[in-house]
Structure 1
Amino acid sequence: MKNINKTIRKTAVICLCGSFFLISIDSLAQRRVGGGGGIHRAGGGVQNRQSRPAVTRPSTNRPEVTRPGSNGSGTKITRPSNNSKIGDRNTVNNRNSNNRTGNRNTNISGNTINRNGNNVNINVNNSVHVRNNRNTIVRPGPRPYVRPPYIYGGYRYNCYHPYYPRPYVPFYWGPVWHPWGFFVATLAVTAIVVSVESTQYHYDQGVWYTSTNGGYTAVPAPVGGTVNNIPSGAETVYTGTVNNYYYGGTYYEKDGGKYTVVAPTAGTIVENLPEGGEEVTIGDAKYVKFGETYYQPVQIDGKNKYEVVQVEKE
């Protein structure tokens, strides 16, 4: 009987140990299975986020990215796509900013000459008129001046009429007239060739041209140039001795049946000045400079006109 009881006790102990061993193994297996990446626990349904590889999230994988430093250097950014956009944008902005500044600086000459903005012709080379000074000599006035000259900067500015200031407004001489510096690719069939002192000019309807690369450029009319006809809209002006015919800033004298370009005579009164003139501030007065000829705004019989100024060195 004692042996039977011992046998029963041993069997019970063995069963208990076996059960405990099986429970331990099952628990350990469940921990290993629950700790695997991306596997849900059967009871909780909670995902173990610590198992996700850090390299799979671009938002958290930023150690290799370096922000620009305080010195503004853009070379420290290591993102190729973003860097190229930032670099291009900065380069364009800087280039545009520099160009705008450069353009603005080159347009400001610092001179007292104010170019009028009412010109209607746009393809004009404004430097052309300074290369031809054949018609810039003003012939002296026919009679003495009774008015004292305006003196400034070592020069005397003589006029017969009082100074009447007003803004310079160019006169539009029509679509076939062009200011000095205007470029055309071809000339009309009415254009003729005029030779003056071994230089060939092309004349057409009151405008004088010289040949340039690929076309023709309007220039000041050469003194001595002779043509058979001048535009019908030419104004007759009296110089004090003879009549001149004035058109588009050019003066002609009739010689038989032809018309010859002459220099303007001091004291001559004209109603209008063409496009291409410049307002010049001389002391307290403003003149209009057309080529090298100065015009003073005057008023005669209630009408606004211009008088050719005689400029003399003191």
Structure 2
Amino acid sequence: MNPNRILNLFIAAAVLFCSLNFSNASYAQLRRGNNERPAENRVEQRRNQGAQRNNGNIRNNNPNNENRPIQQNNTNRVGNGNTVNRNNNTINQNNNRVNNAHNNNVNINIDNSHDVNVVNNRNTVVRRNDLSYYHRPPYVYGGRRYYAVNPYFYHPFHPFTWGPVWHPWGFFIATLATTAIAVTVASKQYHYNQGVWYAPSSGGYTVVSAPVGGTVATLPTGYETVVVNNTTNYYYGGSYYEKAGTQYKVVAPPAGAVVTNLPQGGKEVKIGNQTYVQVGDTYYQPVQVSGKSKYEVVQVES
């Protein structure tokens, strides 16, 4: 055989062998590349997540808020009505807040949110006497004169409660007793029950001062009889009544009236060097009558 032909055949075989090896190597490298790319992607994802953590961003694993980013450096994050406080680890769901401290000091009787319609000074303008009625000079302070029949005699004020059915001004109830009666005074609606007057309030009724002019058929048990200028008054729970035909009518506190007890809601006030008890806008002077501590309605003049 021709030597040149043999050489050409050898060179062609070598070229073919090299081409086949290069193709196999490329194909293997391509397969390795495809298999390694997910791993590279996972590494890249971890790097991205690490960068997000460094920036203060984390994933919320709460099933109620899937895939929702929450800023750690943001004190309050609101989502779906839930408030999350990362610093205090406090979660207030549906914006409902519970203050456990209130559980230790709960007053279920007095609800001040219902006092917006309460006018406690409705019957606190006293019925004045002619100044000749007083045989003692008034106590003068701050440009005002405070008239009283009995001399000033201080004794500490202790609020009084007229039995279990009596309530002080501002007391709120959701429903009235079946014995309560409706009374209209000056086109306003009230309810009266055993010496206590109620006015409609949001969600129920609030105890108010007895409205002057209101009439009732009977007096509550435990009333006190007070006579001023030959006029008989009946006192109960801070309110005064007079006989009007077959009924009893609410009147303003008569100046000079002396009573044994004052209701809850009164407060001691210092006027100069004397201490009075103020109930609504009415001032009571502490006195002593027949050796007993009592209070007299003061007539104040400018």
TM-score, normalised to structure 2, is: 0.63
The answer for the alignment partner of 2:259 in structure 1 is 270
**Shift in Å at residue 287 of structure 1?**
0.7
The answer for the alignment partner of 1:140 in structure 2 is 128
Greater CA drift, 142-151 or 159-168: 142-151
Change (3 A) 1:169 1:128: farther
- Return the letter of the residue paired with 1:140: R
Greater CA drift, 263-272 or 129-138: 129-138
Q: 1:131 aligns with which of 102, 109, 119?
A: 119
**Shift in Å at residue 241 of structure 1?**
2.1
Deviations 1:135-160 (A, max 9, x none): 11111136432212111122111111
**Shift in Å at residue 282 of structure 1?**
1.1
Secondary structure of 1:131's partner? coil
Change (3 A) 1:216 1:86: closer
Determine if contact 2:234/2:241 at 8 Å carries over to the other structure: yes
The answer for the alignment partner of 2:88 in structure 1 is 88
Q: Give the greater-gyration-radius structure (CA).
A: 1
**Shift in Å at residue 183 of structure 1?**
0.3
1:228 partnered with 2:222:
no
Deviations 1:247-279 (A, max 9, x none): 000000011210000011111100111111111
Change (3 A) 1:151 1:89: farther
Paired with 1:120 and 1:285, the residues of 2 have a C-alpha distance of 36
Secondary structure of 2:261's partner? coil
Determine if contact 2:114/2:202 at 8 Å carries over to the other structure: no
Paired with 1:228 and 1:169, the residues of 2 have a C-alpha distance of 31
Paired with 1:301 and 1:120, the residues of 2 have a C-alpha distance of 40
**Shift in Å at residue 86 of structure 1?**
9.3
Paired with 1:185 and 1:120, the residues of 2 have a C-alpha distance of 12
- Return the letter of the residue paired with 2:204: G
Greater CA drift, 150-159 or 198-207: 150-159
Secondary structure of 2:88's partner? helix
Q: 2:164 aligns with which of 175, 189, 193?
A: 175
**Shift in Å at residue 134 of structure 1?**
2.7
Change (3 A) 1:151 1:125: farther
The answer for the alignment partner of 1:207 in structure 2 is 196
Higher-strand-fraction structure: 2
How many residue pairs match? The answer is 211
Deviations 1:189-222 (A, max 9, x none): 1111111111111111101111111100000111
Paired with 2:112 and 2:281, the residues of 1 have a C-alpha distance of 18
Paired with 1:127 and 1:310, the residues of 2 have a C-alpha distance of 28
Secondary structure of 2:87's partner? helix
1:294 partnered with 2:288:
no
Change (3 A) 1:235 1:85: closer
Paired with 2:114 and 2:282, the residues of 1 have a C-alpha distance of 16
Change (3 A) 1:149 1:130: farther
Paired with 1:248 and 1:170, the residues of 2 have a C-alpha distance of 11
After TM superposition, the structure 1 = structure 2 runs for residues 62-77 of structure 1, keeping only pairs within 5 Å, are none
**What is the percentage of aligned positions where both structures have the same residue?**
60
- Return the letter of the residue paired with 1:283: G
Q: 1:243 aligns with which of 222, 229, 232?
A: 232
Paired with 2:293 and 2:215, the residues of 1 have a C-alpha distance of 31
Paired with 1:137 and 1:174, the residues of 2 have a C-alpha distance of 26
Deviations 1:209-251 (A, max 9, x none): 1111110000011100001012121111111221100000000
Change (3 A) 1:306 1:128: farther
Determine if contact 1:126/1:180 at 8 Å carries over to the other structure: no
**Shift in Å at residue 133 of structure 1?**
3.1
1:159 partnered with 2:148:
yes
Secondary structure of 1:295's partner? strand
The answer for the alignment partner of 1:28 in structure 2 is none
Paired with 1:230 and 1:251, the residues of 2 have a C-alpha distance of 10
Determine if contact 1:129/1:220 at 8 Å carries over to the other structure: no
Paired with 2:118 and 2:201, the residues of 1 have a C-alpha distance of 16
- Return the letter of the residue paired with 2:125: I
TM-score, normalised to structure 1, is: 0.60
Change (3 A) 1:125 1:237: farther
**Shift in Å at residue 127 of structure 1?**
5.5
The answer for the alignment partner of 1:219 in structure 2 is 208
Change (3 A) 1:127 1:214: closer
